[in-house]
């Protein structure tokens, strides 16, 4: 069940809103249980056969989390347990593929379908385990822990949230009554997200597909249109889902943390990753990079740069079991290291327009590898982009290309000069963790 589907918007969400706020005397569930039940239904609508898996993950982490206070070894074991489940379902066939290629074997693939939200669940559970081990979380109640993992608005596209951040909202009695301002703001956010997804991302996706599926035939202009179309497709697809997730949660007076902050306004790659998928960046920093730095006997700038590249290779593979995703992460790790080296050793500042131009084009070029099926396809598109001898446009595609250029220009204007959804609705979305 996707956020932009008729099933979600016209049937599921209104029904959940009614169940949550309108309880009869003889048929009453506590609010937290009501949300948990409808979240189970939401998860099951994707693939009900994986419901036992997520219930198993929730139960295991809840009943074994107290062991963390006894010995640090249990923290390692529980994190390994969650990562192992993720690896089995998401990366097992990728590992088999590479073993077969490396050792010339013929091991059969497992062909397991990927459960909904398993990556987000794994990362969210890890934040909980580490925070509990660090004594940041004091009291755990099963019903709130259950909802913390399975709350339906964040299952598809995040954000990754901390336990204290949302549980304090679940417990707030003021949040259990209809707030008309939140409802109106939530519905507007859902509408904005829907339009971003359907009008911008989906149409841009069709232009991107034309290029990426015909790499040998496209011209210079067509290759640029294809690459920029995909860059804006993934931008508005993700931004749209974030808006719809935020708006859906706000209907129930739950404020999710900001996860997207106009990343194409960034003037550096460091700035970009502080704006793009902000909760993922925070997770990578606080739960992978910082512990790695603390584990070093002697910290040096060079070692930190290598750690950044290592962390972003992990970030790349987190997106999926493909060397292309890993290469995308490596490129961004190298780009961030270069950005840090420039800031540390180069004493002059680039013009803001030049900085923006370099940042956007670096992101655009790296997204080519994110979208491509293999290295060759990505390199062919980049070659075509800079092969200025091949700049003509075929007459049969003139109208489509003109339409795509108009849409791309509109996307530039929206992403650069409009306030983002969080800025416009900050009054309703700003929440300070208790």
Residues classed as catalytic = 319
CB 288 within 8 Å of CB 311: yes
**CA 349 centroid distance within chain:** 31
Total residue count of the chain as it appears in this document: 434
Alpha-carbon span 48 to 149, nearest angstrom: 17
- d(C-alpha 140, C-alpha 167), whole Å: 10
What is the token pair recorded at 65?
């989390």
Whose tokens are 């249109």? That residue is 225
Sequence-separated (6 or more) residues with CB below 8 Å from residue 320: 90
DSSP, residue by residue, 161-216: --HHHHHHHHH-GGGGS--HHHHHHHHHHHHHHHHIIIIIIHHHHHHHHHHHT-TT
Phi, psi of 170 (to 5 degrees): -60, -35
| C-alpha to C-alpha distance for 259 and 247, rounded to whole angstroms | 13
């Amino acid at each position: 069940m996707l956020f932009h589907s008729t099933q979600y918007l016209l049937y599921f969400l209104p029904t959940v809103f009614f169940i949550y706020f309108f309880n009869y005397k003889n048929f009453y569930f506590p609010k937290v249980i009501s949300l948990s039940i409808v979240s189970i239904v939401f998860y099951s609508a994707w693939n009900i056969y994986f419901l036992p898996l997520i219930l198993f993950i929730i139960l295991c982490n809840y009943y074994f989390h107290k062991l963390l206070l006894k010995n640090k070894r249990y923290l390692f074991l529980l994190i390994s347990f969650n990562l192992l489940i993720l690896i089995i379902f998401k990366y097992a066939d990728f590992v088999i593929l590479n073993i077969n290629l490396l050792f010339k074997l013929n091991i059969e693939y497992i062909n397991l379908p990927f459960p909904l939200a398993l990556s987000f669940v794994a990362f969210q559970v890890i934040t909980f385990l580490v925070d509990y081990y660090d004594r940041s979380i004091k009291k755990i109640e099963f019903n709130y822990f259950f909802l913390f993992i399975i709350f339906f608005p964040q299952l598809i596209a995040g954000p990754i949230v901390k336990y204290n951040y949302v549980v304090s909202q679940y417990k707030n009695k003021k949040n259990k009554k209809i707030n008309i301002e939140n409802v109106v703001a939530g519905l507007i956010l859902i509408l904005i997200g829907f339009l971003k997804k359907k009008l911008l991302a989906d149409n841009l996706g069709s232009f991107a597909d034309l290029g990426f599926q015909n790499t040998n035939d496209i011209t210079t202009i067509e290759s640029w249109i294809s690459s920029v179309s995909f860059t804006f497709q993934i931008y508005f697809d993700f931004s749209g889902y974030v808006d719809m997730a935020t708006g859906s949660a706000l209907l129930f007076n739950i404020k999710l943390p900001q996860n997207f902050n106009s990343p194409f306004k960034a003037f550096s790659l460091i700035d970009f990753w502080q704006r793009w998928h902000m909760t993922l960046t925070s997770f990578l920093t606080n739960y992978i990079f910082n512990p790695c730095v603390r584990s070093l006997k002697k910290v040096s700038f060079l070692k930190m740069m290598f750690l950044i590249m290592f962390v972003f290779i992990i970030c790349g593979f987190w997106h999926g079991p493909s060397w292309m995703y890993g290469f995308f992460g490596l490129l961004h790790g190298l780009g961030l290291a270069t950005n840090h080296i420039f800031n540390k050793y180069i004493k002059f500042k680039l013009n803001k327009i030049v900085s923006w131009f370099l940042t956007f084009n670096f992101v655009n070029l790296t997204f080519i590898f994110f979208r491509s099926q293999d290295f060759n396809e990505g390199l062919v598109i980049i070659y075509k982009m800079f092969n200025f001898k091949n700049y003509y446009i075929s007459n049969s595609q003139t109208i489509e290309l003109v339409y795509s250029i108009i849409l791309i220009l509109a996307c530039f204007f929206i992403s650069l000069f409009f306030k983002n959804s969080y800025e416009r609705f900050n009054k309703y979305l700003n929440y300070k963790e208790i």
